[in-house]
Amino acid sequence: MLKPNAHYAELKDSYLFYNISQKVKAYAEAHPGARLLRLGIGDVSLPLCGAVIKALHEAVEDQAGRDFHGYMPECGAPFLRKAVAEHYRRHGAMISDDEVFISSGASDELGDILDLFDRESTALVMEPAYPAYVDANVMAGRKIIRLRSGIENGFLPSPCGDAKADLIYICSPNNPTGSVFDRAALRKWVDFANENGSVILFDAAYEAFIEDPGVPHSIFELEGAQTCAIEICSLSKTAGFTGTRLGYTVIPKLLVRGGMCLDDMWVRNRTTKTNGVSYIIQKGGAAVFTGEGQKQIKENIGVYKQNARVLMNALNKLGIRYCGGRNAPYVWLECPGGMKSREFFDFLLEKAQIIGTPGSGFGECGEGFFRFSCFGSPEDTEEAADRLLRLLR
């Protein structure tokens, strides 16, 4: 008889997030006139920028006959691999075009990339964490080592004896905490991974939000990363591609384990398991890396960053401790009055009709914390800041 993958039974149901959406739905039905302010979303609210829309339209015309494209190269169109590699090189990361793989987004890659590693390998997850890291490894039956972080280390743990693992997840700028590793802190992880033969899976989904010069946009800005890291990135938050879908993964040729080159293995994987990303979408993605595209996406990111400033101002006035917001689109705050994450969620919903995300949904050490997203509209964010001030002052 066919046996299903029994590891699926070990997955924790996301009761918390389900429960929250049910609560919000019930509240909205019971209070039809209420203006709910949704600061829980991780999705963008601004449309694609003009340069991308123009490129998408042109690509549709190409497909109408002028310059028709059938199957695309599995690892990505050369024009987009080149544009992404040049983007890296502008930040001082010496990446060649064929070390870039075009994907349909970071979520897909975070799951698929695990094909490269033995199921016996262990995975280190720094919590609080984006839930997919844990779940994708549980599905594969891998042992997970949890490295907890807290307000005392700014939610930026350093390597230690307990952190030895084959795979090491690092997300910087971080979802949910908004904290970022500076060069010195990241250096320690790169050295640690090289010393132990680990591979870092570096999630750079929020790199475009970095504004401090001391914070690397890519792990490949650090010497030595080419022998110990894979970087997974996405245009979702950088350029509003959450619904359009496009990402990229960098696997250096120098990354070798057990005598096998992981870049070569990924070429073999992609040429077996995908037929590439749509030509039209890749054309739209390439427009992000043009001068015009970069200018326009920065304008949109500026709107989200202003939202972050509005929220941070309110928290400063209230004397509430938080991190993030500066180099990331999330503000991670300590629940006031010693409230637990869920308690604070209920309190904000009932008293101010503000919806955020309880920190406990991102791992046990997120208990007592709360995440605000800056992807909402400026109007809602300003109104939320006013309501917070009225409620908590």
Contact flag: residue 362 with ligand PLP (CB under 6 A): no
* Cβ atoms of residues 160 and 192 within 8 Å: no
Q: Return the residue of 242, 274, 290, 377 that touches ligand PLP, per CB under 6 A.
A: 242
Tell me: does residue 42 bind ligand PLP (CB under 6 A): yes
Name the residue nearer to ligand PLP (CB basis): 117 or 133: 133
Say whether residue 280 binds ligand PLP (CB under 6 A): no
Size of the site for ligand PLP (CB under 6 A): 13
Which amino acid appears at position 61 of this protein? E
Candidates 121, 137, 172, 175: give the one binding ligand PLP (CB under 6 A).
Answer: 175
Query: Residue 357 interacts with ligand PLP (CB under 6 A)?
Result: no
- Binding ligand PLP (rule: CB under 6 A), the pick from 247, 252, 329, 356 is 247
Q: Does 360 bind ligand PLP (CB under 6 A)?
A: no
- 282 counts as binding ligand PLP under rule CB under 6 A: no
Q: Which is nearer to ligand PLP, 40 or 105 (CB)?
A: 105
From candidates 16, 52, 87, 105, binder to ligand PLP by CB under 6 A:
105
* Per CB under 6 A, 374 contacts ligand PLP: no
Helix (H) or strand (E) holding 61: helix 50-61
CB atoms closer than 10 angstroms to residue 30: 8
Selected binder of ligand PLP within 171, 251, 352, 365 (CB under 6 A): 171
Backbone phi, then psi, for 173, in 5-degree steps?
Answer: -55, 145
Closer Cβ to ligand PLP, 110 or 392, answer by number = 110
Residue list 181-210, contact with ligand PLP (CB under 6 A):
203, 205
171 versus 311: smaller Cβ distance to ligand PLP: 171
Does 137 bind ligand PLP (CB under 6 A)? Our answer is: no
Residues in CB range of 295: below 8 A, 6 or more apart: none
Residue 54, CA distances (Å) to 176, 283, 337 in order? 33, 10, 50
Structure tokens at 49: 């920028």
Among the listed residues 117, 130, 220, 304, the single contact to ligand PLP using CB under 6 A: 130
Q: Where does this chain touch ligand PLP (CB under 6 A) — which range of 104-112, 290-298, 309-317, 343-351? A: 104-112
Please give the DSSP secondary-structure letter assigned to residue 263: H
Contact indicator for 341, 363 with CB cutoff of 8 Å: no
Q: According to the binding rule CB under 6 A, does residue 236 interact with ligand PLP? A: yes
Helix axes 279-288 and 50-61, enclosed angle (nearest 10): 150
Q: Residue 298: enclosing H or E segment and its boundaries?
A: helix 291-318
Backbone angles phi, psi at 102, to 5 degrees: -85, 140
Nearest approach, Cβ of residue 178 and ligand PLP (Å): 11
Q: Is 128 in the site for ligand PLP (CB under 6 A)?
A: no
- Pick from 50, 99, 47, 56: nearest CA to 76: 99
Within 44-83, which residues bind ligand PLP (CB under 6 A)? Answer: none
Q: Which of 59, 75, 106, 136 binds ligand PLP (CB under 6 A)?
A: 106
Under the criterion CB under 6 A, does residue 278 sit at the interface with ligand PLP? no
The 3-state secondary structure of 310-364, one letter per residue:
HHHHHHHHHCCCEEECCCCCEEEEECHHHCCHHHHHHHHHHHHCEECEEHHHHCH
DSSP code for 113: G
Q: How far is the CB of 346 from ligand PLP (least distance, A)?
A: 24
Among 37, 107, 199, 366, binds ligand PLP (CB under 6 A): 107
In angstroms, the Cα distances linking 127 to 52, 107, 147, 176, 351 are 35, 18, 6, 9, 30
Residue numbers of the site for ligand PLP (CB under 6 A)?
42, 105-107, 130, 171, 175, 203, 205, 234, 236, 242, 247
